[in-house]
């Protein structure tokens, strides 16, 4: 027997059960994006490696699946979408009214040590607003991130948006006479506060020309430190979303390219994980595409939010309800008299044409087995071809109540029983 | 200014207009698959290169994006899904009731010379039935392929299913004492009939131990040559789909692993292209996964069918109708009195929570500009915050007819005007 070929480590097989959760996450992202009037786009999964180098420097290649293709091009499987978005937006931004509210859902690849919530292939939803400098754009994004979580069934107390302002940090650092690499070192130390030993943090800060007391005094200023935070808080309060918001200058996010507000969707109490994150990056499109286009955005991955749904009973219940609705067959066609098989095929066809989800056994089976298959398919109705020629028996699977109809009246009768008008 | 970074040749940027068509194709595939009760699955985009070698031999690597990853593994971006399906099905087929009706939609990669309809990155819908030897499974697949085309708006005369039987060819070749490489050479010559010079074909056939007359005499037998064809034709005729079917022994398909029926969805009159293709491959799961699991399936790519839709007015009209419905905003919120901006944000939020697609200008604009933006968003209603406090004016964008409502009654009033009940 042939040696078994396994999948690669850090990659996933989505068997139907797992694919259901994936599709539920995608559908929810799409639904909420549409309500907020974001339009969908997508880029290539493979790009020139230089696209990522330009944004993040040579060290980015350490976590890339990258190689030289048959045309001698240095290429990489995309680790994130923002460079592609910047490339695409720079090339054609003139064709679109500003602000551009764009989103995308697709796979990404990072060569990392695999662990819970961290895989080598994962999906992300990326939402960005381009061509708008106002804080109102940042607020719209934060509101959308909240609504995605609410649509998943999460509530106040399950998660929080931690909002901060890297711009305020940069202003403060400038006041302190700290810039360049030293400024970045301070932000990296702040990013690790509470996770790194205090002595170590103090050392890093000292090396950058400041100290813990000064940093803590700045962070204690809270919202006062940022006029942006005040504007965004007011916007979100007007939407009734203040309860989801927490101002926290300790959030700086690792990436160097953020220029203004930054935020994270943070899971409270479960794994204390960042479910999503983003912020304003006004200089990146220029850096990558040579066109001045202010922007802000966030990304949410499927892995952490999927785990979070599975672990949160009221969110999971919502997914389960979606799944059982989605997975249920409207009808299961049963051939009780083999002489009527052709008729049954015609009936199956007419029901599917009418938009219904219809299953049947492909080959002759005892009626009892066909009913068992109908149960397995969680069918709402059994459509039975037996008894009198020209007549069909429709049985509700819940209570076995029966309706008889003539062959030609099948789709209309079943649609009525299902409480639906024709879906054609 | 930085040098521009272009996308790779043979790859696509899906700007929103192009992404609409892609999503329409995906949605149609999913909808028709659900009606036929296929369940969705997905595999990794990167697999071990050996998975493809096992199915197709070393020469497959000529058209692969393949490389050695940082863990010294030979890996390849998937050129097709069947090997992954075989691997996954072999590993867990015991967990699923047979027949397994599975489908998948995702991206694939082939390093080929790019041309119209042939790209290096493309999407495919793969539909397979596993664990069923009966021809009824083949017929179910063909019917589903027809229904996908019908759902796109294609009609009889636009396309045809060309059905053939490689099993019948193999039986005939065995009768003629032709087997192994010689048998494959005959099928390859048949595949090129009408495209290659007759003298050349005759030469290939002679080399394999037969001749054109014998081959033509076999092909003239038509459906008689295949009991499978008779059964499938009867099934499809019962469904009312006979008009889409054409029995054509000239269809053999290049791939060596087909064991029974093969078929193509063929575009008549436009580009005479194969829009989809498939057949029965009873030995492949065993070859790849070591488990005996008969199977049949087909794949449809997004590129050819997308072009076909664009070129066929009645199919294109269907897409356009879908698009304008999908792209229309239910409401556009207009702030006519800046003092009411917070109220307008609350209203926007309540409408989106009710499931509606709602847009607005993020920053203060003259009322005329806001109405222009509402037109641009093809909004059905404008929701205007001006005039009397506590009251909102809802204007139909089509005829500017006005409805006044109190703030708290906004979602209910608008849902009623849209003819919908709450979508929560």
CATH code, domain carrying A215 = 3.30.930.10
Nearest-by-Cβ selection for A40 from B23, B65, B356: B23
Measured between alpha carbons, how far apart are the two ends of chain B, in Å?
50
The phi and psi torsions of A246 (rounded to 5 degrees) equal -140, 120
User: Domain check: are B303 and B363 in the same one?
Assistant: no
Q: Same domain, yes or no, for A351 and A297?
A: no
Sheet of A66-68, strands arranged across: A46-48, A74-77, A66-68
Instruction: List B residues 164-223 in contact with A (Cβ-Cβ < 8 A).
Output: none
Instruction: List chain A residues with CB under 8 Å of B356.
Output: 35
CB contacts, 8 Å: A288 with chain B? 2, 5
Phi, psi of B184, rounded to the nearest 5 degrees: -65, -40
Question: Which letter, b or e, does each residue of A381-418 get, where b requires 16 or more Cβ atoms within 10 Å of its Cβ?
Answer: bbbbbbeeeeebbbbebeeeeeeebeeeebbebbbebe
Structural domain includes residue A53: no
Q: Which of B321, B344, B370 is the last residue of a domain?
A: B321
Say if residue A1's pLDDT is above 50. no
Which one of A1, A6, A7 makes the best mutation probe of the B interface by having the most chain B beta carbons within 10 Å? A7
**ipTM score here?**
0.95
The sign one gets for the Cα dihedral A299, A304, A305, A308 is: negative
Question: What part of A 363-422 touches B (C-beta under 8 Å)?
Answer: 363, 373, 376-377
Residue B241: its chain A contacts at CB < 8 A? 349
Name the helix (H) or strand (E) containing B335. Answer: strand B331-335
Higher pLDDT: B362 or A113? It is B362
Cis status, amide bond into B64, omega within 30 of 0: no
Same-domain check for residues A151 and A87: yes
Summarize the confidence of residues A335-361 as an average pLDDT.
97
Judged by DSSP in three states, B300 sits in strand
Maximum pairwise Cα distance, chain B: 93
Flag whether residue A74 sits within 8 Å of chain B, measured between CB atoms.
Answer: no
- Examine the domain organization and report whether B160 and B237 are in the same domain: yes
Taking 80 as the threshold, does the pLDDT of residue A115 lie above it?
no
Domain count, chain A: 2
The pLDDT of residue A333: 98
* Whole-number Cα distances in Å, A312 to A143, A156, A159, A306: 21, 13, 11, 10
The token pair at A338 is 């083999």
- One domain for residues B25 and B146: yes
Which regions in chain B score pLDDT beneath 50? 1, 423-424
Whether B87 has its CB under 8 Å from any CB of chain A: the answer is: yes
Give the closest residue to A8 by CA, choosing from A100, A77, A102, A85: A77
Contact A44, A107 (CB under 8 A): no
Are B244 and B317 members of one domain?
A: yes
Measured CA to CA in angstroms, residue A116 lies from A112, A160, A266 at distances of 12, 21, 17
Looking at the complex, report in whole angstroms how far the Cα of residue B175 sits from the nearest Cα belonging to chain A. 31
* N-to-C CA span, chain A: 50
Where is pLDDT greater, at A60 or B131? B131
Shared domain for B311 and B336, answered yes or no, is no
Checking if the pLDDT of A347 tops 80, the result is: yes
pLDDT score, position B201? 92
Instruction: Convert the pLDDT of each residue in B325-371 to its tens digit.
Output: 999 999 999 999 999 999 999 999 999 999 999 999 999 999 999 99
Q: Which two tokens stand for residue A221?
A: 């200023």
Which residues of chain A have a CB within 8 Å of the CB of B45? 45, 77, 107, 109, 121
- Boundary-marking domain end, from A321, A352, A372: A321
Do the Cβ atoms of A359 and B37 come within 8 Å?
yes
Cβ–Cβ below 8 Å for A71 and B45: no
Asked whether residue A204 is domain-assigned, the answer is yes
Regarding whether B151 and B116 lie in a shared domain, the answer is yes
Chain B residues inside the 8 Å CB shell of A42: 14, 19, 22
Asked if A358 contacts A330 with a C-beta cutoff of 8 angstroms, the reply is yes
Q: Same domain for A170 and A32? A: yes
- The predicted structure's pLDDT at residue A3: 62
Residue B201 located in a structural domain = no
Burial grade of A126 (CB within 10 A; 0-12, 13-18, 19 or more): buried
| Within a domain: A2 | no
**Cβ within 8 Å, pair A39-B16:** yes
Domain of residue B358, residue span: 329-417
CA–CA distances in Å: residue A302 to residues A28, A225, B47, B218: 11, 34, 21, 55
- Out of A6, A43, A290, name the one closest to residue B13 (CB): A43
Region A160-176: what's the mean pLDDT? 93
Examine residue B152 and state whether it is found in any structural domain, yes or no: yes
Q: Are residues A251 and A182 in the same domain?
A: yes
Write out the two tokens for A110: 């990072």
**Residue A161's beta-bridge partner residues?**
A245, A265
Given a cut of 90, whether residue A312 has pLDDT beyond it is yes
Q: What are the tens digits of pLDDT across the range B19-42?
A: 999 999 999 999 999 999 999 999
Distance of CA A75 to the CA centre of its chain: 26
Q: In B, residues 97-126, which contact A (CB 8 Å cutoff)? A: 97, 99, 102, 107, 109, 111, 121
pLDDT at A107: 98
Residue B196 placed within a domain: no
A–B interface: beta-carbon pairs under 8 A: 236
Shortest Cα distance, chain A CAs vs residue B355, angstroms: 7
Which of B288, B321, B354 delimits the end of a domain? B321
User: Which residue has 């697709």 as its token pair?
Assistant: A106
Q: Residue A383 is part of a domain; what is its CATH number?
A: 3.40.50.800
The residues, any chain, with a CB within 8 Å of residue A372's CB and separated by 6 or more, are: none
Residue B237 lies in a domain: yes
Residue A119 sits in the same domain as residue A99: yes
Q: Is the domain of A102 the same as that of A250?
A: yes
A199 falls within a domain: yes
- Minimal C-alpha gap between A12 and chain B (Å): 6
């Amino acid at each position: 027997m042939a040696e078994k070929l396994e999948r690669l480590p850090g990659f996933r097989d989505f068997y139907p059960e797992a694919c259901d959760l994936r599709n539920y996450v995608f559908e929810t992202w799409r639904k909420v994006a549409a309500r907020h009037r974001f339009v969908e786009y997508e880029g290539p999964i493979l790009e020139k490696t230089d696209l990522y180098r330009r944004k993040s420097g040579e060290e980015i290649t350490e976590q890339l699946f990258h190689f030289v293709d048959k045309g001698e091009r240095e290429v990489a499987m995309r680790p994130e979408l923002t460079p592609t978005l910047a490339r695409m937006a720079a090339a054609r931004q003139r064709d679109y009214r500003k602000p551009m509210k764009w989103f995308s859902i697709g796979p990404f690849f990072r060569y990392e040590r695999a662990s819970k919530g961290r895989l080598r292939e994962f999906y992300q939803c990326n939402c960005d607003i381009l061509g708008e400098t106002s804080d109102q754009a940042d607020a719209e994004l934060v509101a959308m991130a909240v609504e995605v979580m609410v649509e998943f069934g999460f509530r106040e107390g399950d998660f929080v948006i931690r909002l901060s302002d890297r711009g305020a940090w940069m202003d403060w650092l400038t006041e302190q006479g700290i810039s360049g690499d030293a400024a970045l070192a301070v932000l990296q130390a702040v990013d690790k506060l509470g996770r790194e030993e205090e002595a170590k943090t103090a050392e890093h800060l000292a090396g950058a020309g400041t100290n813990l007391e000064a940093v803590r005094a700045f962070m204690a200023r809270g919202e006062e430190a940022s006029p942006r935070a005040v504007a965004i808080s007011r916007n979100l309060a007007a939407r009734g979303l203040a309860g989801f918001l927490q101002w926290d200058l300790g959030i700086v996010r690792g990436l160097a390219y953020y220029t203004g507000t930054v935020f994270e969707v943070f899971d409270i109490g479960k794994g204390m994980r960042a479910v999503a994150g983003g912020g304003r990056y006004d200089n990146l499109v220029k850096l990558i595409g040579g066109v001045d286009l202010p922007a802000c955005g966030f990304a949410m991955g499927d892995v952490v939010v999927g785990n979070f749904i599975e672990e949160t009973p009221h969110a999971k219940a919502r997914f389960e309800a979606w799944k059982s609705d989605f997975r249920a067959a409207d009808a299961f066609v049963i051939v009780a008299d083999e002489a009527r098989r052709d008729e049954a095929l015609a009936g199956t066809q007419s029901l599917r044409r009418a938009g219904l989800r219809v299953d049947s056994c492909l080959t002759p089976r005892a009626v009892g087995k066909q009913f068992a298959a109908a149960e397995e398919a969680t069918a709402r109705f059994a459509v039975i071809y037996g008894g009198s020629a020209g007549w069909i028996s429709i049985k509700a699977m819940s209570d076995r109540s029966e309706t008889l109809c003539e062959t030609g009246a099948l789709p209309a009768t079943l649609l009525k029983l299902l409480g639906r008008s024709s879906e054609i």
